[in-house]
Chains A and B, each alone.
Chain A
Amino acid sequence: MGKKKGIYLLLAAAMLLLLGSTVGSTRAALTYYSENYVAEITVSQIGVSLLENGEVVSCRDYQKNEWQMTTNQGEGSVSGALLLDMLEPEEKLALNKEYEEVLSVRNSGSIDEYVRVRIYRYWTKDDRKLTTLSPDLIDLNLVNEGAWVKNPDETAECVELFYRGILPAGQETECFADTIRIDGQVASEAKVEQNGNTITTTYKYDGVEFHVDVEVDAVQTHNAEDAIRSAWGVEASSLGIL
């Protein structure tokens, strides 16, 4: 008899809890429909933009309940283009020359956020990745190391930077790079051939193409530690970016 009573109590408790868990949402629904007025509501809108030499090259903001994507590549493009103005018209790329490449991030949303940047450097030839040539020969000069924390677990191809602290809505970070230079070491291997009065120097890496790709991620500041761990897989406090 006592056992049976216990089971009834357990059942009653479970039913009450289950009922209680649905009451809140029912009340909210009733409250929502009982109001009758029009109001402007500002909702949390996250957004981020990548800037090259002061110009936005890629931007993705949440506005009016949908994502707004704009790039310097025109409509329909999901990725911006870098290095378009690196060379003047008719200018030839020179080795060891420093070209302006100022890269920064702007919070183009309406809520504060944390920002991460990933920079990929690599070489290709004939549309195939070239792994015998070091990415370090693509010298993107990283600056403002106090504001940008480098992930110590970087690889040769990928550098990961975290902006230290919160980037307030509408604000721009200090730049994380200011110049780009192709190291002259890329021309260190060559064959010299003479044929009559003509000398031909053929370089091993003639015609290679260098690439710089940049990804920018932003995450909300609410529950930042958990959000950053979940989104980026790093401990924000141990990296010192909170």
Chain B
Amino acid sequence: MEMKKRRYGSWAAVMSAAALGLLAVSSPKGALAYFTTYVSAGGSHVVNMGSQTEIHEDVSSMTKHVSVTNVSQINDCFVRVKVFHSGELNVTYHDGGGLWTEGEGGYWYYGPILPAGQSTGILDVKIGDLPEDFDRDSFNVVVIQECTPVVYDEAGNPVADWTTVYTDYGEEADRNG
């Protein structure tokens, strides 16, 4: 009889605990429900760089007719040329189009952007005041050319940055492997 009483008491305790547990579960946590929404958008562009320029020098009447062609298919650039010669020669420059300007470092700068696939106007380099015994079939006047990509300044104007120092780069390991 004592045993039966004990069992009945245990059963009632279990049922009470179950009922309280059920009650606790039935209380919703409303504070965690909230309205949200979201949107997304993305865009990209390829940065094409790189240039290929070609210098042309035709000679006639002791004058070099210099022009530069941007042979790149994609990228515009700015170009400049510089003439090297021995001190005994007197060299004068003539630009019929008015687009070449003598500037810093003894270079002649082509003013406009040189679009891909196009050529500059002609810059004439005339060699004068030659000594009488000068060999007109063999003289040493060297023209070099340089190009630089079109960049923009803070005011939004296209400019050439000739201060860029180009160095050979090595292959660098990407962190992605």
Contact = CB atoms under 8 A, between A and B. Distances in A.
Chain B associates with chain A = yes
A175 interface: no
B3 interface: no
Interface residues of A, number: 92
Interface in B2-42: 5, 9, 12-13, 15-16, 19-20, 22-23, 26-27, 31-32, 34-42
A227 B32 CA distance: 7
Given A187-B149, A198-B53, A44 B35 contact: yes
A95 B156 CA distance: 11
B152 A95 contact: yes
Interface of A: 3-4, 7-8, 10-11, 14-15, 17-18, 21-22, 44, 46-50, 52, 57-62, 67, 71, 78-84, 86-87, 92-98, 109, 111, 113, 120, 124, 128-132, 182, 184, 186-192, 197-220, 222-223, 226-227, 230-231
B89 interface: no
Contact of B34 (A93, A124, A199, A231): A231
B45 A83 contact: yes
Nearest to B53: A199
A195 B151 CA distance: 26
10 contacts: A14-B19, A50-B41, A71-B41, A80-B40, A128-B174, A191-B166, A201-B147, A203-B49, A212-B44, A220-B35
- Size class of B's contact patch? 35 or more
Contacts of A87: 45
B140 interface: no
Chain B interface helix/strand/loop/mixed: mixed
Interface in B39-71: 39-57, 71
A90 to B, nearest CB: 11
Contacts of B31: 223, 226
A14 B16 contact: yes
B47 A7 contact: no
Given A92-B74, A201-B166, A206-B50, 19 more contacts: A7-B9, A7-B12, A14-B19, A46-B35, A61-B37, A71-B39, A83-B44, A96-B152, A130-B174, A131-B176, A191-B169, A197-B56, A199-B146, A209-B44, A209-B47, A213-B41, A215-B39, A218-B38, A219-B35
